Each structure stands twice: as C-alpha cells, then as structure tokens.
C-alpha cells in the first residue's frame, strides 16, 4: 500500500521480539495515524520484501547495509529502537536521503540499578542463602543463624566507574548514599568532575578498587582493553562489572583470571556474541555471573522507547523536526 509521508505513513517494525519481551507493552502509540506492521524477527533475506513501500522503518538489531538501503526507494526514516545504531550504515542512509534516529538515554536508570544489584548480590549473598534455606541447611543448623558465607558492607569501599557518561553519572548518584569512595577513569579533567568523584588511571583502578564498573562505549581503542596485561594489575578480590559491551573485555583472559583465582568475580550483562555460543568460557568460569542482556529492559525503559519512536513518527507525519538524528 502506498502512502504519503504527510498523511498516513506505512510503518514496518522488522524485529520487535526483544522489545516486546513478555507481552507487557502497549503498541498503540505506534499505530495511531499509521499503517503499522510488526514482525517479531526478520531474516536478512526477508528484509526487502517486508519493507515493501514503507516510508518508516523501525529496527533493533537488523543489519541495514548500503546495498539494502539503496534498494528501499520509499524509506525516508529509520528509527533505531535502541541507543546503539552500529547495525545501520548511517553514511549510506544519508546518501539515500534517509534520516536515522536512535533513542538516547532511555536505559540509564535500569542499567545503573542493575550494577547496584550486582554489588548488593555480591555483598549480601541473598540468592546463595535463600537457596540453602530451601535445601534445608538452616533447618539443620544448630544456631539461630546460618552464617556459612561472609557478607560485606559497601560503606568505605572504593568503586571505580570506567566511562563517566549518562549511565556512569547515574550510577555514581545511586552509590553515593552507600558511603562508598567513588573514582572514575575518564577523559574529563578532574575539575570537570563532581567533587565527590576522584579521577584515577585504569591500572590504579584495577589494583586498588573493591569494584570496577565498565560503562564505556565499544570503540577501536576500547576493544578488548581489559586483557591479560590489565588483569595482571587486579587483586584477587576485585569485582569486575561489565554492562557496556562484551567486546571491551577479552573473555578468555577474564575466564583465565577467574580460574586462576586472580580475579574475585565477574558480573556481566553483555557478551561478545549474543546469544552466546555454548563454548563461551565465561558461562562456566567460577565466580562468573552472567545475565542475558536484560539490564536495559525494564517495562518503564521499553515504554520510553515506544514513546520516543511514536514521537518521531508523528514528527515525520507532520513534517516537524525529528529528535536524535544521528546522521
């Protein structure tokens, strides 16, 4: 069906499954004033046939190459249903007269909250003790409490944030009430940092911190920067947390450090390949806690994505300025 971008645009969502999650979202904002078609997943070979004569394309992870974009003459707007848009050839899109917009900042709260939950899990061992209670260990205990594992307090511990962007700053604000010593590895000078954050270098961070949280983007300079050399500076109680991208660490080197007892624990919501291959060493390494890339995915955060997409659809329809154009 052919439509005008100023009347009723045809909108195609190529891969809604991850955003839809357990079916708790309302898609109506995307359907108002549009001809809306949603596909849970789209294979590369089916992209063109599903796009058809659509003017607006929504995607989360579909790879939109220059070749594909050149074969979509009616598409005028691509909406990335996420912050990262490395799956879209934005330069080719601009050559084709296609605006590309992402959704920035929607997940800063839930990602920071996940990092705090990792720290509390490590300190309080709630899951461990709850499992042992179910298994009858407390019932069989001779004392009123089953103190089988040490618990820790966060107060006074040094926590270093690597990458002080939106998520890093939100994390720092969340951690302040715990009374921790906050440090950062950042390109920003000390005078531009909040007074409660001390700038240190990455080697000092690994050598002296209770926990290091990786919140930096994946770039050529950060690809696998956490490697055997950097891990040699770590102490055997260090908690390393990665909610950035799987590719910022060398996963084999991290697994080896855990196996050798040279790293205290590794908590991550991201891996270099997603879904991971069965032989990823971090899935079985000791003291490795991997969650399946769900830190971003609270219902509130996914609703913010829907709202941002709907805003740009309305702006396109009424020929108004778009938000978060990345090309």
Active site residues: 245, 274, 293
Query: CA-to-CA distance for 19 and 30, rounded, in angstroms?
Result: 13
Contacts 24+ apart (CB under 8 A), 119-122: 119/154, 119/159, 119/211, 119/239, 119/241, 120/154, 121/267, 121/289, 122/152, 122/211, 122/239, 122/265, 122/267
- The two structure tokens encoding residue 226: 């956490």
β partners of residue 200: none
Reported as type and span, the H/E element at residue 166 is helix 166-175
Range list of H helices, the chain = 17-20, 28-31, 47-51, 66-70, 90-95, 108-124, 126-134, 166-175, 202-208, 228-231, 251-259, 299-317
- The two structure tokens encoding residue 134: 């179910």
């Amino acid at each position: 069906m052919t439509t005008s971008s100023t009347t009723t645009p045809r909108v195609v969502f190529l891969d809604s499954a991850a955003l839809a999650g357990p079916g708790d979202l309302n898609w109506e904002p995307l359907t108002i004033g549009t001809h809306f078609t949603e596909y849970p997943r789209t294979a590369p070979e089916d992209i063109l046939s599903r796009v058809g004569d659509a003017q607006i394309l929504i995607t989360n992870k579909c790879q939109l190459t220059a070749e594909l974009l050149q074969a979509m003459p009616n598409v005028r707007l691509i909406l990335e249903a996420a912050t990262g848009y490395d799956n879209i050839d934005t330069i080719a899109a601009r050559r084709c007269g296609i605006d590309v917009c992402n959704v920035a900042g929607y997940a800063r709260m839930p990602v920071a909250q996940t990092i705090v939950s990792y720290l509390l899990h490590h300190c309080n061992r709630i899951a461990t003790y709850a499992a042992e209670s179910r298994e009858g260990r407390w019932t069989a205990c001779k004392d009123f409490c089953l103190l089988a594992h040490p618990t820790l307090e966060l107060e006074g511990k040094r926590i270093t944030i690597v990458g002080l962007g939106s998520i890093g700053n939100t994390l720092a604000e969340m951690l302040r009430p715990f009374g921790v010593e906050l440090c950062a590895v950042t390109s920003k000078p000390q005078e531009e940092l909040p007074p409660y954050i001390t700038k240190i270098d990455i080697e000092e961070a690994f050598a002296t911190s209770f926990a290091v949280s990786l919140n930096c983007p994946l770039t050529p300079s950060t690809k696998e920067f956490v490697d055997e050399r950097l891990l040699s500076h770590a102490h055997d109680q260090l908690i390393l947390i990665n909610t950035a991208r799987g590719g910022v660490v060398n996963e084999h080197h991290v697994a080896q450090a855990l196996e050798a007892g040279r790293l205290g624990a590794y908590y991550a919501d991201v891996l270099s390949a997603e879904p991971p291959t069965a032989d990823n060493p971090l899935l079985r390494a000791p003291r490795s806690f991997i969650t399946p890339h769900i830190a971003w995915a609270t219902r509130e955060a996914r609703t913010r994505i829907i709202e941002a997409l709907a805003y740009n659809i309305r702006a396109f329809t009424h020929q108004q300025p778009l938000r978060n154009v990345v090309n």
